[in-house]
Amino acid sequence: MKTAGRPARDDGARRDWGPTHPTEAPAMDNIWLDVHAWQPLRGVLHRMTEIECDAPDPLPRDFDEWHGWAEACLLEVATRDGWQHGRYAYTIQERDATDHPVREIGKDIWDYEEPARESTG
């Protein structure tokens, strides 16, 4: 699959957008986020989880819309499951009926900051 490169944002992280034309849209009902967590002491990513998401309606038209949608999904799961704050890499994937990736829609880096805790005093 061809992907069009996107210029790096201020943090210098690499982000890719696909499909090659913004009007091409995933045909599946569900889209997956393949998530890897950054281990700063080792300097590597390790596979963390896969998240099955309902396809957004309407489908995002460009990288920024896909990024916003994916970040909202990640925040919901991270808050619900109590993830540690830190850096996560994710890939947005279209999958077939057997849950095997058939197309990579995009990938990005997400920095999760734990929400501020309310004082109990």
pLDDT digits (tens, 9 = 90+) for 71-102: 999 999 999 999 999 999 999 999 988 888 99
Q: Each residue of 20-54: pLDDT tens digit?
A: 444 455 456 779 999 999 988 888 899 999 999 98
Three-class SS of residue 73? helix
Angle 49-114-16 from CA coordinates, rounded to 5°: 50
Spatial CB neighbours of 19, under 8 Å, sequence gap ≥ 6: 1, 3, 25, 103, 105
Residue 119 has a pLDDT of 66
Number of domains in the chain: 1
In a domain, 77, yes or no: yes
Structural domain contains residue 69: yes
Whether residue 80 lies inside any domain: the answer is: yes
Would residue 103 count as lying in a domain?
yes
- Residue 15 in this model has a pLDDT that exceeds 60: no
- Tell me the residue range of the domain where 57 lies: 4-8+30-112
**Pair 5, 58: CB distance under 8 Å:** no
Rounded to two decimals, the pTM is 0.71
Instruction: Look at residue 55 and tell me whether its pLDDT is greater than 80.
Output: yes
Amino acid letter, 4: A
User: Distance between CA 28 and CA 38 in Å, rounded?
Assistant: 29
